[in-house]
Amino acid sequence: MLDQTKQLPMGVGVGYKSKHFSNISEGDHPVKWLEIHAENYMGEKGAAGGRPMAQLRALSDRFPISVHGVGLSIGGEGRLDPDHLARLKHLIDEISPASFSEHLAWSTHDTAYFNDLLPLPYTAKTLARVCDHIDEVQDRLGRQMLLENPSSYLAFAESTYGEVEFLRAVVKRTGCGLLLDVNNVFVSANNLRIDAHDYIDAFPHEAVGEIHLGGHDEDQDEDGAPLLIDSHGREVADPVWHLYTYALATGGPKPTLIEWDTDVPEWDVLASEAARAALRLEQVLV
Amino acid sequence: MKQQEFIQAALAPDAPIPAGLITPSGAPAQRRFDVYRNNIIVGLKEAIAASYPAVKSLVGDAFFEAMTGDYVRAHAPKTPILPLYGDDFAEFIEGFAPASRLPYLADVARLEFALRQSYHAADTRPVPAAEFSDPLLFTRQVVLAPTVIWLASTYPVTQLRRFTLDGDRPSGGAEDVLITRPGYDPVATAFPHGTIAVLDALRNGMALANAAELAPTELDLSQFLGTLLKGGAIIDILEGDHDV
């Protein structure tokens, strides 16, 4: 069952990768909680099993777990997949996580899944749709979810809301919380030529239940200017650390996650990123 | 803009980008749209590569890249559960002309997909091996674990897969392969051609004693039964006799 009394501890977590199972279980490290991708622990008809599930059960006895979904397609035009929602409910009932979060994005169309977080315009119509989907998720799971701000590479001519304005409206209508991905803010601000600090200033920090930090890659846009790609494949960049510090100073301390999903490093590298975040978090806690 | 329009353009590398996607200066976001194109294809190819390491090793990196590129563009996942993605990759390989010189490749893909399904399959509690000392049980219908999967190949598929791991040259011919999962790591065991008739019969509700009569003469029945029991393959024995 879902334990509403559980919540993420005011400390640093990491995205869990099975290669780090022993390090996490045995070692002395700064990591206080773990985040998993929901879809890695699902089977077609409900429960997956085997080693991944056994490891997750063992870890969930010792660490608060954040379940992070990538496949619900909250921003999709179609209705939410009832089978996928049922699988999610099953997983959440089984491991009783401290938090559940998803993305302001879409990843499925008709019956196809594209394994990427695709963008949506911010209009009255998409706002209504996203809110309907979040209402459905929160009703089905019987709990609040957190919605994560995306990394943007382009803009929609038809958008009538700014992203923060859109997120504020979603929070107001659905009562959901937010997951503030500071790297995504940095990436989007660079790519859309907006001011990252303005974005943080305007953000409804009272709704934020979790912060994400991750690495990005640098490419070039049409004009040869930097185009940043949210890759989760390296250390958090220095300006993102500065923006994190700014977000903590602005919004107060929040449970913070280090995401590293591709070219996953040895445990020591990830743990030292977690230690860097913990140091900054402690500075706003005292 | 409709999401259908977005995804169609994203999956077609040379298609014009949908109208209304813009850069900060309001120009068409061509280069930026390519980020999504790239992310989708690279992400799906990585998912296939994670499921099919032996196929990749047999054909080499460049061939595998080209083959999976064609595959993922035409076969998006039908589910967000990526370990289940690629269920029709073997059929795709059969129709992929450049791979026709490797007629065994599709069956190696079938074996790898089956191993992956067994790895992730739901946990069940096996019937303790000691219970099988009662000969009556051989007249009963049994239920097989979801970790138990089998396939037949006209090629020595388990050896072809092992070749990619340790370099031992494959020998022999057709194999019927039984996959079981003792603990957490699936094991593929090769049996003589015709053995899967026994497994098909068990799944269709035939009692062990009757199903065993379908076995090819070369099958060592005690080894076969031992593989099933050691792999925790039998998870229930139903009440009542089941003469077929």
Q: Is A224 on the interface with B (CB under 8 A)?
A: no
Closest chain A residue to B77, measured at CA: A113
Closest chain A residue to B48, measured at CA: A115
Determine whether the interchain pair B20/A156 forms a contact, defined as Cβ–Cβ distance below 8 Å. Answer: yes
Tell me the C-alpha to C-alpha distance, in Å, between residue B202 and each of A37, A214, B210, B244.
36, 50, 9, 11
Q: What's the pLDDT tens digit per position in A149-162?
A: 999 999 999 999 99
Closest chain B residue to A193, measured at CA: B24
Q: What's the pLDDT tens digit per position in B48-100?
A: 999 999 999 999 999 999 999 999 999 999 999 998 999 999 999 999 999 99
Option in B6, B47, B119 nearest A118 (CB): B6
Determine whether the interchain pair A115/B40 forms a contact, defined as Cβ–Cβ distance below 8 Å. Answer: yes
Instruction: State the nearest Cα–Cα gap between B184 and chain A, in angstroms.
Output: 5
Chain A residues close to B232, C-beta within 8 Å: none
Q: What's the pLDDT tens digit per position in A66-121?
A: 999 999 999 999 999 999 999 999 999 999 999 999 999 999 998 899 999 999 99
Tell me the C-alpha to C-alpha distance, in Å, between residue A278 and each of A11, A141, A197, A203.
7, 31, 22, 22
Name residues whose C-beta falls within 8 Å of residue A184's C-beta, 6 or more positions apart in sequence: A148, A149, A150, A151, A212, A230
Q: What's the pLDDT tens digit per position in A223-241?
A: 899 999 999 999 999 999 9
How much is the pLDDT for B241? Answer: 57
- What's the gap between Cα A98 and its chain centre? 14
Name residues whose C-beta falls within 8 Å of residue A14's C-beta, 6 or more positions apart in sequence: A20, A31, A34, A35, A257, A258, A260, A270, A271, A273, A274
Determine whether the interchain pair A222/B27 forms a contact, defined as Cβ–Cβ distance below 8 Å. Answer: yes
**Class assignment of domain A12-285?**
alpha beta
Instruction: State the nearest Cα–Cα gap between B135 and chain A, in angstroms.
Output: 31
Chain A residues close to B122, C-beta within 8 Å: 43, 45-49
Average pLDDT, chain B: 94
What ipTM was estimated for this complex?
0.93
Q: How far apart are CA B112 and CA B50, in angstroms?
A: 10
pTM, two decimal places: 0.94
